[in-house]
A = this chain, B = another copy of it.
Amino acid sequence: MAINMETGKSITAQELSEQGILKPKEVRQLISEEKITCPTSGMCPGYAQANLVVLPKEYAYDFLLFTQRNPKSCPVLEVTEEGDRFLRKIAPGADIASEIPKYRIYENGVMTGEYTNVERFWRGDLVSFLIGCSFSFESELIDAGIEVRHITEGCNVPMYITNIECEPAGVFSGKMVVSMRPVPYHQLVKAVTVTEQMPRVHGTPIHIGDPSVIGIKDIAKPDFGDAVPVNPGEVPVFWCCGVTPQSVVMNVKSSFCITHAPGHMLITDVKNTELKN
């Protein structure tokens, strides 16, 4: 808790993050101290966020090949050395086991718990995959004058399992998961061109309009995250989502897996502008 010097009102760590007052490293510190445990959407505007998938080495080749074959769903930003808990590239020195607000652990495909710290579960054979997240382009959309509904509503982004098959690789296969943001007709083209510049955080939309075309039955009932209103004059726009690899890993029922909890991402030191083509 801090004090806003202008208003004299107290201000939370989350508010400091969202206003961009705290740097990613400082926010990650607060996360590792469990002072921030909420979804990270809107935090550290301008900095890229990343999805996490941690797997035993025996699965690493098939999973890396899956990301290569499904680059729009799984744009890999960094892969750690086997057993190494610390990042080198997108957030140098960051501890993967404590600097994400919430984790999920899966054993044989079953979620066995949600944790704010997974240090005690770490093993020498684990490889971490950090995958670009669509949260990264949200501040770019906002800068371009496009409202991001779930940020306005203060909830998690709605995510849906589609009927689109990912390209399989080894043991990994499954349906594509997408995130949705409603966009007014007059801003549809801008939503495409803004995100086109950022292929390493999912890039252009995978679908615009009628959700049933990609197998979504009820836009009001997302499979992950929270529903948001789609107002008259707005079109649902769907982007590939970093939950896809998680969903696929669940299908495989790998002996062990750690992921971030949906919406609770790693905030990296990489600026979105650095991810542009």
Binding site for B on A (CB under 8 A): 60-61, 64-65, 67-69, 76, 79, 196, 199, 203, 277
17 A-B pairs in the complex with CB atoms less than 8 angstroms apart: A60-B61, A61-B61, A61-B64, A64-B64, A64-B65, A64-B68, A65-B79, A67-B68, A68-B68, A68-B76, A68-B79, A69-B79, A196-B277, A199-B199, A199-B277, A203-B277, A277-B277
The 4 nearest A-B residue pairs measured at CB:
A61-B61, A64-B64, A68-B76, A65-B79
**Min CB distance, A154 to chain B, in Å?**
34
What number of copies of this chain does the assembly contain? 2
Which residues does chain B contribute within 8 Å of A61, judged by CB atoms? Answer: 60-61, 64
Residues of chain B within 8 A (CB-CB) of A64 are 61, 64-65, 68
Q: Which residues of B contact A196 (CB under 8 A)?
A: 277
Tell me which of A60, A64, A76 has the highest count of chain B C-beta atoms within 10 A of its own C-beta: A64
A124 CB to closest chain B CB, in angstroms? 16
Chain B nearest Cβ from A277, distance in angstroms: 6
Q: How far is the CB of A32 from chain B (nearest CB, A)?
A: 26
* Distance from A142 Cβ to chain B, minimum over Cβ atoms (Å): 23
In the assembled complex, the Cα of A60 lies from the Cα of B65 at a distance in Å of: 10
What is the minimal beta-carbon distance from A83 to any residue of chain B, in angstroms? 13
Cβ of A67: which chain B residues have Cβ within 8 Å of it? 68
Residues of chain B lying within 8 A (CB to CB) of residue A79 = 65, 68-69
Note all chain B residues with C-beta closer than 8 A to A76.
68
Contacts of A60 in B (CB 8 A): 61
Give Cα A112–Cα B67 distance, bound, in whole angstroms.
34
Interface centre among A61, A196, A199, A203 (most CB of B within 10 A): A61
Q: How long is the Cα–Cα vector from A203 to B276 in the complex, in angstroms?
A: 13
Q: How far is the CA of A76 from the CA of B277 in the complex (A)?
A: 17
With a cutoff of 8 Å between Cβ atoms, the chain B residues found around residue A69 in the complex are 79
Q: How far is the CA of A252 from the CA of B203 in the complex (A)?
A: 35
Q: How distant is the Cα of A277 from the Cα of B203 in the complex, in angstroms?
A: 9
Give chain B residues whose Cβ lies under 8 Å from the Cβ of A277.
196, 199, 203, 277
Given the complex, which residues of B lie within 8 Å of A203, measured CB to CB? Answer: 277
